Amino acid sequence: MNARLGSIALFSLLACDRKDDASVAKAVEPAKPVEPAKPVEPVKHVEPVKPPTPPEPVVAPTTAVPPEPPAPPVAEDEFALMNGESFGDLKLDMTEADVKKVLPGAKRKGKCELSEATGETLRFLADKTAGVQLTVSCEKAGDVGSIRVFSPSTLKTKRSIGIGDTADAVKKAYGDALDPDSEPDDESIVAGSVYGGLGFTLKDGKVTEMFLGAMAE
């Protein structure tokens, strides 16, 4: 019986040795070959990113401003001709005393009255034998405001026009000073302005009367 137990024990021991050898053989299996690494692809060249183009500035449309017109020429004093004219030695703004030195026969005529043309209070001073009638102020020490010359006066203007001269002679003498607002006609010609100038009354183409002063309001 002991011999039989020893055989069993020996058989068990051999079985264990074989089992251990198989486990070792199984454990020590050859390693699988390592796959070679894939080659690294070269980095492709990347174009640099261009900065965005800034938008063009928007220019608001401008309204064309027309150039300023040239300043109009300064008009000459429309009363310059009147203030510079005279009939012989008689002129505007003379005092009554100075008038009587030139026309000793001049006498006052009528009362002081309001003139619609000038707005002043005036009276007449006349010498009919000399063919002259003036208006003088009742407020300004008798200053002359207007002068009317008629036949038989022989007085002439500064441009040598007198009673009896033709309309053509007047236009020739005062052509550069004719009133643009008063066209010459068969009855009258105005130099300077009707608001202060020299007026010629015509009949049959000749001067019958001359007036220096304001002819209209």
3-state secondary structure of 157: coil
Backbone angles phi, psi at 47, to 5 degrees: -65, 135
pLDDT-derived band at 141, boundaries 50, 70, 90: low
Give the residue with greater pLDDT, 167 vs 75: 167
- Residue 38 in any domain: the answer is no
Instruction: Provide the number of structural domains found in the chain.
Output: 1
- Residue 24 in any domain: the answer is no
- Residue 34 in any domain: the answer is no
pLDDT-derived band at 22, boundaries 50, 70, 90: very low
- Residue 197 in any domain: the answer is yes
- Residue 91 in any domain: the answer is yes
- Residue 49 in any domain: the answer is no
DSSP string spanning 2-22? HHHHHHHHHHHHHHHHHHHHH
- Taking residues 123-149, report their average pLDDT: 90
- Residue 97 in any domain: the answer is yes
pLDDT-derived band at 183, boundaries 50, 70, 90: confident
- Residue 186 in any domain: the answer is yes
Domain ranges, residue 111: 80-213
Span 79-128, pLDDT tens digits: 999 999 999 999 999 999 999 999 999 998 888 888 776 778 889 999 99
